[in-house]
Amino acid sequence: MSDVTNKPFSEIKEADLSNYFDRLAKGGLTAATTARKLSAFRQFYNFLYEEGLVAENPTTHIESPKRGRPLPRVLSEDDVNRLLDEVAARAAKKPDVRNLRLVALVELLYATGLRVSELVSLPLAAATGERDFIIVKGKGGRERMVPLTNAARVAIAQYLDMLKAEGVYTDSRWLFPSRSKQGYLTRIRAFQLIKDVAAAAGLDARKISTHVLRHAFATHLLANGADLRAVQQLLGHADISTTQIYTHVLEDRLRRLVTEKHPLSKK
Question: What CATH number is associated with residue 90?
Answer: 1.10.443.10
How far apart (Å, rounded) are the C-alpha atoms in residues 158 and 247? Answer: 35
Instruction: Say if residues 59 and 41 touch (Cβ distance below 8 Å).
Output: yes
What pLDDT is attached to residue 175? 95
Domain annotation covers residue 263? no
Q: Are residues 98 and 59 part of one domain?
A: no
Cα–Cα distances (Å) from 31 to 53, 78, 193, 229, in that order, read 30, 33, 36, 30
What pLDDT is attached to residue 142? 83
- 189 CB neighbour count, 10 Å cutoff: 14
Residues noted as catalytic: 115, 139, 211, 214, 237, 246
* In the chain, beta strands by DSSP E: 133-137, 143-147
Q: Are residues 221 and 121 part of one domain?
A: yes
Cα–Cα distances (Å) from 251 to 7, 28, 101, 219, 255, in that order, read 43, 19, 36, 11, 6
- Bridge partners (DSSP) of residue 46 are none
127-149 as b/e, with b when 16 or more CB fall inside 10 Å?
Answer: beeeeeebebebeeeeebebebe
User: Helices 210-223 and 97-112 meet at what angle, rounded to 10?
Assistant: 40
Q: How many CA atoms lie within 13 A of 30 on its CB side?
A: 7
Domain annotation covers residue 264? no
Domain annotation covers residue 266? no
Q: Is the pLDDT of residue 57 over 50?
A: yes
Q: Are residues 137 and 209 part of one domain?
A: yes
Task: For 197-208, write each residue's pLDDT tens digit.
Answer: 999 999 999 889
Number of domains in the chain: 2
How far apart (Å, rounded) are the C-alpha atoms in residues 126 and 220? Answer: 25
Contacts of 124 (CB under 8 A, 6+ apart): 172, 173, 174, 175
Domain annotation covers residue 261? no
Q: Are residues 57 and 13 part of one domain?
A: yes
Q: Are residues 42 and 91 part of one domain?
A: no
Position with higher pLDDT, 244 vs 19: 19
Q: Are residues 132 and 45 part of one domain?
A: no
Final residue before a domain boundary, out of 43, 68, 93: 68
Kindly indicate the confidence band of residue 160, based on its pLDDT and cuts at 50, 70 and 90: very high
Q: Are residues 84 and 55 part of one domain?
A: no
Domain annotation covers residue 165? yes
Kindly indicate the confidence band of residue 258, based on its pLDDT and cuts at 50, 70 and 90: very low
Q: Is the pLDDT of residue 172 over 90?
A: yes
Q: Are residues 58 and 88 part of one domain?
A: no
Domain annotation covers residue 265? no
pTM beyond cutoff 0.85: no
How far apart (Å, rounded) are the C-alpha atoms in residues 68 and 107? Answer: 32
Q: Are residues 83 and 53 part of one domain?
A: no
How far apart (Å, rounded) are the C-alpha atoms in residues 175 and 109? Answer: 14
Task: For 221-257, write each residue's pLDDT tens digit.
Answer: 888 888 888 888 888 888 877 777 777 655 555 455 4
Q: Which of 37, 14, 193 is nearest to 101 (CA)?
A: 193
Q: Are residues 104 and 159 part of one domain?
A: yes
Residue 64 sits in a domain whose CATH number is 1.10.150.130
Work out the percent of the chain whose per-residue pLDDT is above 70. Answer: 87
Domain annotation covers residue 203? yes
Kindly indicate the confidence band of residue 180, based on its pLDDT and cuts at 50, 70 and 90: very high
Q: Which of 69, 115, 81 is nearest to 249 (CA)?
A: 69
- With vertex at residue 251, the alpha carbon angle to CA 249 and CA 256, rounded to the nearest 5 degrees, is 95
What pLDDT is attached to residue 263? 59
Q: Are residues 245 and 122 part of one domain?
A: yes
What pLDDT is attached to residue 58? 87
Q: Is the pLDDT of residue 68 over 70?
A: no
Q: Is the pLDDT of residue 262 over 60?
A: no
Final residue before a domain boundary, out of 68, 96, 124: 68
Q: Are residues 174 and 197 part of one domain?
A: yes
Domain annotation covers residue 176? yes
Q: How many CA atoms lie within 13 A of 87 on its CB side?
A: 27
Structural domain boundaries, residue 113: 77-256
Q: Which of 171, 129, 131 is nearest to 149 (CA)?
A: 131
Q: Is the pLDDT of residue 259 over 80?
A: no
Kindly indicate the confidence band of residue 2, based on its pLDDT and cuts at 50, 70 and 90: very low
* Phi and psi torsions of 137, nearest 5°: -100, 115
